[in-house]
Amino acid sequence: MSEPIGMNIEIGGELPASLIKDLLEAISEEIGELNEGPDDEAGLRQSIIRKDVNGQPAPDSVNWMGISNYGMCDDLTSFCRDHNLSYIHHSEASGEYDAYTYYWVPGMKEQEVSKSDNEGSCLVDAEKVRPFVDFLATLARDGEKALPLFMNSDQEDLKKLVTKGLKGYKRMLNDLPKVINKLLPVAPELPPLTIKEDA
């Protein structure tokens, strides 16, 4: 079964010259009707070095856009992870399928995914976020005294955070940014795509 859906992937990082052919092959196998992005080595090398407003070389990440099965490109993103290439992959909404944005940079254990709009902006689930907003507002007003009020939250991540806070308030505050990033993911800024010439 197949469902062609619009997608794009932006890739950055250091690509060994010996892997250029493999990357382009992975792209051509996964992305049909490529309407943006280089499809050969010369085009890739040209895309990597853009010029800034002063005409100086300004390396940048490279974007490919087209259509793939269900908007996915699992083999391509696996290739990127296997070779420490950062990426942001966006699949558009189509019919019964929602839009999603996936991203990974070296150092992440797994790729992150968030529901998004067709432009790639993260969509926030208000039901998941609201308890944390209430918690933060109460915490700002009452400090540590607010913790017991949220012990029976339906949100498992909030319950874990409160439990940690009851054992050590400062430890909880240190973990708070991680929980917020999980609730409100932001795709990272990618490094430029560069080619490391073989020795």
DSSP string, 142-177: HGGGGGGGGTT-S-HHHHHHHHHHHH-HHHHHHHHH
Longest dimension (CA), the chain: 63
> Distance (Å, rounded) from C-alpha 196 to C-alpha 28?
22
**Tens of pLDDT, residue by residue, the chain (199 residues):** 578 899 999 999 999 999 999 999 999 999 988 888 899 998 998 888 765 566 666 668 899 999 999 999 999 999 999 999 999 999 998 888 888 999 999 999 999 888 888 777 888 888 888 998 999 999 999 988 889 999 888 888 888 889 988 888 888 888 888 888 888 877 888 999 989 887 6
**Cβ-count burial of 60 within 10 angstroms (0-12 exposed, 13-18 middle, 19+ buried)?**
middle
CA distances in angstroms from 72 to 19, 51, 64, 92, listed in the order given: 22, 31, 13, 10
Query: What is the DSSP code (8-state) at residue 61?
Result: -
Q: Which pLDDT value is given to residue 105?
A: 94
Radius of gyration of the chain (CA): 21
pLDDT tens for each residue of 104-139: 999 999 998 888 887 778 888 888 889 989 999 999
b/e map of 140-163 (b: 16 or more CB within 10 Å)?
eeeeeebbeebeebebebbeebbe
Whole-prediction pTM: 0.80
> Distance (Å, rounded) from C-alpha 63 to C-alpha 88?
9
Q: Which pLDDT value is given to residue 50?
A: 66
Task: Characterize the bridge pairing of strands 4-16 and 193-196.
Answer: parallel
